[in-house]
Amino acid sequence: MFKKIVIKVSTLIIILIGLNFIYNFTLYEKDLNEKCEQIVEIRDKQAETDIFYFAESSNFNTRETDSIQSTISDLTAMFFPSLTLTAINKPATHAGIYKVWLKNINLEVNKPKAIVVTLNLRSFDAAWIHSVLETQLQESVVLVRPYPNLINRFLLSLQAFDNKTNEQREQDMLNDWLNTQLVFPFDFKYKTVREWDVSFGQYGWDLADGTPEKNKILLTCHYIKAYAFNLTENNPRVKDFDEIAGWCQKNNINLYLNLLAENIEYADSLVGKELVFLMKQNRDYLVKRYNKGNCKVVDNLELVNGLEFTDQTWTTEHYGYKGRMTIAKNVANSLKDQFSKEYKKAY
């Protein structure tokens, strides 16, 4: 009886190995191109790449009125004309996806000299962590999980990944805003994001939509929900960046975390000093945690003027040309320490 079971199991394993082999040589590349565009791009370009630049929409978003439409990564690359800087972009991407991209760099093909990873402060907030876009992002990396490709395809078909409903994600976000306590080293009357948000928002409930005053109140509430949090090691994005830093340390690759500029000016004028305190405190936390060893935090948090932000009615890291160039110069100056011979002053 036992011998028959062993034979059946062995036969099944052989069949699965055969099917996996057939899948690898037939449909796998097609599926990979459809679902994992960025992974394919990394694999296609890694042989010629000196520096990878991982980013979300902050890198490529431009103003229609900009006379120069270059991305932040393109502007950075202009300072190093003899090096190949390859940007890998996907809107709404965060460290949980960047770490998968990293692990798909084949170091035997070519080991990058450096990696720049966007460090977006908002990606640590409840709205981004529980975003409805998360399902799509998680779907984009299922096929490169550390299992046989056929198994990964089967998991993708079953939607066996973080595939919560939009309603579940929204509820998780609301729960965070309602229950997570805000910590200040001074007395502050609001204990949660929910309390703080309502304190401003309630005054706009009776105003007509589209009026300047209601628009201002809505924007104020956006800022509170985007930046009112205390970073700790329990934040899932902190854990993701820990993995990123650990991978680069293990493989002896210099890592540059590009901490993006936020609209500190508007945060101050709309909400007040308490929100600015949290934003700067979280920046300090990230700098202290990651600015060591082969990792450097490029701090742009306060470098871009409020009017240089493309979106004036929302919280994003989208900039006009001057803002993009300011960040590019700062990244280039950090890279200059490693690539002093290749550095050429571009502007």
Average pLDDT over residues 100-123: 97
- Bridge partners for 117 per DSSP: 54, 257
Average pLDDT over residues 240-252: 98
pLDDT exceeds cutoff 70 at 77: yes
pLDDT exceeds cutoff 90 at 16: no
pLDDT exceeds cutoff 70 at 8: no
| Predicted local confidence at residue 208, as pLDDT | 82
| Predicted local confidence at residue 237, as pLDDT | 98
pLDDT band at residue 347 using 50, 70 and 90 as cut-offs: low
The first and second tokens of residue 94, run together, are 């965060």
pLDDT exceeds cutoff 60 at 6: no
Q: Using CA of residue 28, residue 31, residue 35, residue 38, what is the dihedral sign?
A: positive
Average pLDDT over residues 201-227: 88
The answer to whether residues 297 and 274 touch, using CB atoms and an 8 Å cutoff, is: no
| DSSP element (H, E) containing 258 | strand 254-259
pLDDT band at residue 203 using 50, 70 and 90 as cut-offs: confident
The answer to whether residues 271 and 279 touch, using CB atoms and an 8 Å cutoff, is: no
- Side-chain half-sphere exposure of 273, counting CA atoms within 13 A: 3
Q: What proportion of the chain, given as a percentage, has pLDDT over 90? A: 85
Looking at domain 48-125+181-336, its CATH class is alpha beta
pLDDT exceeds cutoff 70 at 1: no
Average pLDDT over residues 220-249: 98
User: For 76-87, b where at least 16 C-beta lie within 10 A, e where not — what string?
Assistant: bbbbbeebebbb
Q: Where are the domains of the chain?
A: 48-125+181-336
